[in-house]
């Protein structure tokens, strides 16, 4: 029987185990938990309801950005990790966004050389929109570029997950239980996976020892998050195999829905 151990951020294995649907975040976002069998899991937030066996991918950055403004210019010479900000539009408790990332909003900065560089949030003050829109954010690294006063920033969560719904999306994990929209829990990112949901009435067959890829289309018979088998030329198969980290350990007939065992090549 395997036991859990945590890696990163100095976390301890979670009380209550891996099958979680936390309405309130219980640990650092992105925390990786592994067991003694080599299976690994990441603590994420669900942007929509995730389910057992479903393939998940990260929500596009533009969809999970919140704009705030730098209050006071920052220079490289200042060698500071403190950023004073304003224009918060919602209340935030102290350190609610710890572990999230911040960067200059692309194509909006007064200093275009700063666009897109990201810094991880170490801590921050509470923001009470009704009383004050200003406060300090502390980063894990010093700001290594010029940030001008009123430059718009993005604060975002790289581990905000949704179900795959296109063949071109990158698989970033497999659901191990239901996680409600907005809630937190674990998805599997490595090792033996007992259940990957696959198929539908228009799906390619799952072949043992070959990759499972996201369904290219979503219809009433092929739900978001379902995997399908590879179909196409040898060249296409090779490309799909290179992109997919999920390898089927058993077969499933074409145009059939069900669960298959799989092996997940380690995801970062």
Model confidence at 2, pLDDT cuts 50, 70, 90, reads: low
Q: CB-based contacts of 76: which residues, under 8 Å, 6+ apart?
A: 143, 144, 145, 146
What confidence score (pLDDT) does residue 233 get? 46
Asked whether residue 267 carries a pLDDT value surpassing 80, the answer given is no
What is the mean predicted confidence (pLDDT) over 58-65?
73
What confidence score (pLDDT) does residue 213 get? 86
Match 């066996």 to its residue by tokens: 53
* The pair of three-digit structure tokens given for residue 183, joined into one six-digit string: 């809630």
How far apart (Å, rounded) are the C-alpha atoms in residues 251 and 268? 27
* DSSP secondary structure, 210-228, as one string: SB-EE-S--BTTB-TT-EE
Look up residue 19 and give its DSSP letter.
-
* Tens digits of residue pLDDT in 148-173: 888 888 888 889 999 998 877 889 99
Model confidence at 178, pLDDT cuts 50, 70, 90, reads: very high
* Tens digits of residue pLDDT in 94-121: 888 888 898 887 555 555 555 668 899 9
The H helix count followed by the E strand count for the chain is 1, 17
* Tens digits of residue pLDDT in 216-261: 655 545 688 888 887 654 445 556 556 689 999 999 998 888 999 9
């Amino acid at each position: 029987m395997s036991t859990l151990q945590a890696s990163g951020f100095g976390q301890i294995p979670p009380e209550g185990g891996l099958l979680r649907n936390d309405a309130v975040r219980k640990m650092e976002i992105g925390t990786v938990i592994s067991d003694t069998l080599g299976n690994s899991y990441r603590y994420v937030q669900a942007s929509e309801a995730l389910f057992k066996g479903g393939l998940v991918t990260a929500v596009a950055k533009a969809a999970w950005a919140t704009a705030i403004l730098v209050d006071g210019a920052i220079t490289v010479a200042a060698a500071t990790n403190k950023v004073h900000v304003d224009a918060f539009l919602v209340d935030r408790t102290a350190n609610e966004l710890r572990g999230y990332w911040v960067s200059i909003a692309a194509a909006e900065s007064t200093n275009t050389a700063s666009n897109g560089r990201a810094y991880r949030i170490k801590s921050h003050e509470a923001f009470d929109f009704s009383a004050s829109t200003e406060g300090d954010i502390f980063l894990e690294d010093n700001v290594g570029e010029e940030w001008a006063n009123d430059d718009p920033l993005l604060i975002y969560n790289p581990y905000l997950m949704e179900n795959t719904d296109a063949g071109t999306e990158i698989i970033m994990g497999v659901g191990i239980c239901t996680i409600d929209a907005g809630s937190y829990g674990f998805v599997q990112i490595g090792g033996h996976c007992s259940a990957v949901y696959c198929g539908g009435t228009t799906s390619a067959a799952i072949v043992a020892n070959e990759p499972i890829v996201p369904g290219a289309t979503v219809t009433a018979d092929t739900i978001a998050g379902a995997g399908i088998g590879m179909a196409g030329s040898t060249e296409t198969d090779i490309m799909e195999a290179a992109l997919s980290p999920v390898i089927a350990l058993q077969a499933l007939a074409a145009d059939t829905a069900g669960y298959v065992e799989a092996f997940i090549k380690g995801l970062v």
